[in-house]
Amino acid sequence: MSERGLNTVSFAGHAASSAQFKALYAEGMGLVEETASYLDGPGRAASKVLPRMASVLYAAESMRLTTRLMQMASWLLLQRAVNNGEMSRDQVLSEKSKVRLDSFNVDRNAPGWNDLPEMFRDLIERSLRLQNRVALLDREIYRPQEAPAFVPDNQNGVKAQIKLLQTAFGAN
């Protein structure tokens, strides 16, 4: 196997240590703070006047929301630690096995959903979107490395890709 095949560029790896990651980190930690502030203040007051079904749903969804945010915050902190050289990739892999980024189902058709405070529903929606972005980045960074395609030593990798495209699309 050519050594050239082992020098693939991980765009996700670069994105994870870029300004984009810093923005994602700031957004995630900001959402954690905003949610905590809401749940301790206006959310607490709003939950006390909800109809029974909405009150039960609020309690369940607030637990899911805080769990989702804590899992994302854990992942973001781990990624920041590896970016800053505070942890090795192997250490992060070991620790991140404790982090769940899979989606907690949200039933927007559940009885009482429309009675939930709009700000609370907005926090849930924003957390779900952020969770999807974090999970996608996680899959891209930490997916098992695939075996690189074999490129003969005497063949340029770009030319080989162009040839494959020409073959696939019937171009000459």
Task: Write down the pLDDT at residue 1.
Answer: 43
Smallest CA-to-CA distance from 68 within 111, 23, 130 is with: 130
Q: Is 86 left (phi over 0), alpha (psi -120 to 50) or beta?
A: alpha
Q: What is the CA radius of gyration of the chain?
A: 22
State the pLDDT at residue 9.
44
One digit per residue, the tens of pLDDT, for the chain of length 172 reads: 444 444 444 444 555 557 888 999 999 999 999 999 999 999 999 999 999 999 999 999 999 999 999 999 999 999 999 888 899 888 888 888 888 888 667 899 999 999 999 999 999 999 999 999 999 888 888 876 654 555 555 556 677 667 666 666 665 5
pLDDT of residue 25: 95
Q: What is the reported pLDDT for 58?
A: 97
Predicted structure pTM score: 0.73
Distance CA(2)–CA(8), nearest Å, equals 12
pLDDT at 152: 54
